[in-house]
Every structure is written in C-alpha cells, then in structure tokens.
Amino acid sequence: MRTMRSMLYIPGNSPGMIQNAAVFGADMVMIDLEDAVALSEKDAARDIAAGFLRDYDFGDLPVVVRINGADTPHFEADLEAIVPLKPFAVRLPKCQSPADVTTVDARMGEIEGRFALPVGAVPIHAMLESALGIENAYAIATASSRVKALTLGGQDLTADLGIQKTRDGWEFFYARSRVVMAAKAAGIDAFDTVWTDFNDPEGLFRETRQIVELGFTGKAAIHPSQVEIIHRAFRPDAKEVRKAERIVAAALEAERQGRGVVAVDGKMVDGPIIARARHLIDLAGLYGMEGGEAR
C-alpha cells in the first residue's frame, strides 16, 4: 500500500516543471494536457508528455496524464500517444455516464492490443465535474474494471450548477459525499478537487481536513507549495494515534487472558472500535508517525 494524499497538477507544455516533478514531494503527479494547455499548444504538450513517459526516469513516482475530453479533436491523438507508454493512469475529464467510460475503455483496449500490452493495462481515473456525472458516480465507477479512481472536478461543477465556490465549501458537501460513497462502494480511490487560492494555505488546510474526514484518498494540488499542507492535513492527530495504540494493546491483552470485554480509559471498546484503531495505526505508520509522533 502507498500513500496517495496529494496529486500535483503539472502543465503538459512545461518541460522544466515536469523534469522537477519528483522534487516537489507529491505522492503522485498529473501531467495535464487539458485545461493547463493553450489550444495552439495541444500538439506540443502531447509530444512533451510522451517524451517524458518514454525516456525520463521518474523513479517510483506515479505519473498520471489528463487527456482532452472525448468531445474534442485532441482526444484520439492523446490516447494514441499516451496509452502505449503505460502511465500510472489516464485521467478522463468530464465523465457524465457509464457510456463515456465504456467507449474510452474499448478504444484503449484496441490501442493496448496493437502495442502488445495486456488489455486493461492502463487504468482510468474518471473525473466527475457535472451534476449528471455526480449523479451517475457509482455507475461510472463500475462501468469498467479499468476505473481505479473517481476524481471530483470542482471548477466545472460550480459552472454547471451556476454557483460560486465558497471558502467553507459546503456547496460541495453532497457532491463530495456522493463521490466518496460511490468510490468506496466500488472499492476504488476518491480524489478531491483543487484549492485554487494558493495564497491561502489556511483555507487549503481546513478544506483538506474536511475531505480527510469525508473519506477521500487524496486531494489535487495546483501548486507545489500546496503539497506539504495537504500532507499535514492527512496526518492523524497524535493523541488519537496514542489512544488507538492503547486500544489495540488492551485488546491483545484481553485476548491473551481469554476475556471478551475490553475497557480503555474507562470506556468499553468493541470490535469495530478496535478495527478502526488498527486502521489508524496503519495510517500513522504510512504517514511516517510512530507512537503518535512524526518520525
């Protein structure tokens, strides 16, 4: 298991940034061929992304590529250039229905076959950024075994809903809950949208805490400076981790003594609480904490 707390957007036509991708400390990077690239540079960004995927050593950093939507003239060329190079995943924008996924799935399978790759070798991260896409979340998540994550596209969603994004973000509460629920039900990951004001780290931290509590796997970052803040928000509370360790220790002791009932800090503890405590300790380990303290 690896952490996927942060996914850093990198414009596809910026070789200097792609070349430094690993330096920013993100758990995953996403080379963007869509919104971050001017129309006149779509061809150039595609060649750059393909060049990096083919020849550059990213170490063990997962590299996702966001292609242009199926309704654009760039879509076919993007798939042809990117799929044979086996990125960590292809991010598919503007998914509205299961058919959007199955069409792309078939097209990708055809390309994989031609390049002697196993069909299904390249996963899809489906981006939900419209009311219809959100309502179809579970159907999209299960439309193909290729779909390994749902991602929320907040910018387009506000436009579709005709609303403004607020600092508190309560207008996304339903969409976020829906995305997480559908992803968990399908057994895949869920990634949250970007925090666009990179001069407001406090707002980013608060929003990231919210989405951690909702159950998201990770959050997108549009600036390298956001990575550290997102990681900080994912770190479990040290007090909670210490308590979890006491719960697990007490459960082990009770098991050793053949007792079924466990009390910790004067409160009865049962199966689900012990399971949750174990999960929290695993997370803490994953995020580099031991005994509730950062390593």
Partner 1 sequence: MVVRMAQAGTLESADCLVTVVPAEEFGLDYRGGNRKLFGERTRKLVLETLDRHGFSGVQVTIRDQGALELVIRARLETALKRATAEA
* Residue 22 binds partner 1, judged by CB under 8 A: no
110 binds partner 1, rule: CB under 8 A: no
CB of 32 to partner 1, least distance (A): 16
Using only C-alpha atoms, the chain has a radius of gyration, in whole angstroms, of 21
For partner 1, which residue of 1, 2, 23, 55 counts as binding (CB under 8 A)?
A: 55
CB of 19 to partner 1, least distance (A): 6
> Which of 7, 32, 34, 52 is the binder for partner 1 (CB under 8 A)?
52
Instruction: State which of positions 148-177 bind partner 1 (CB under 8 A).
Output: none
Question: What's the DSSP call for residue 236?
Answer: P
Window contacting partner 1 (CB under 8 A); options: 53-61, 140-148, 226-234, 276-284:
53-61
- Which segments within the chain are labelled E, that is strand? 6-11, 28-32, 63-66, 89-92, 124-128, 147-152, 189-192, 218-221, 262-264, 267-269, 289-290, 293-294
Counting contacts by CB under 8 A, is residue 38 touching partner 1? Answer: no
| Choice from 25, 35, 47, 163 touching partner 1 (CB under 8 A) | 47
CB of 81 to partner 1, least distance (A): 11
What DSSP line would sit under 110-175, residue for residue?
HHHHHTTPPTT-S-EEEEE-SHHHHHTHHHHHTS-TTEEEEEE-HHHHHHHHT-PPPSS-GGGHHH
Residue 48 Cβ, how far from partner 1 at the closest point, in Å? 5
Q: How far is CA 114 from each of CA 89, 165, 187, 224, rounded to the nearest angstrom? A: 18, 44, 30, 37
58 contacts partner 1 (rule: CB under 8 A): no
Binding site for partner 1 (CB under 8 A): 13-16, 19, 43-44, 47-48, 50-52, 54-56
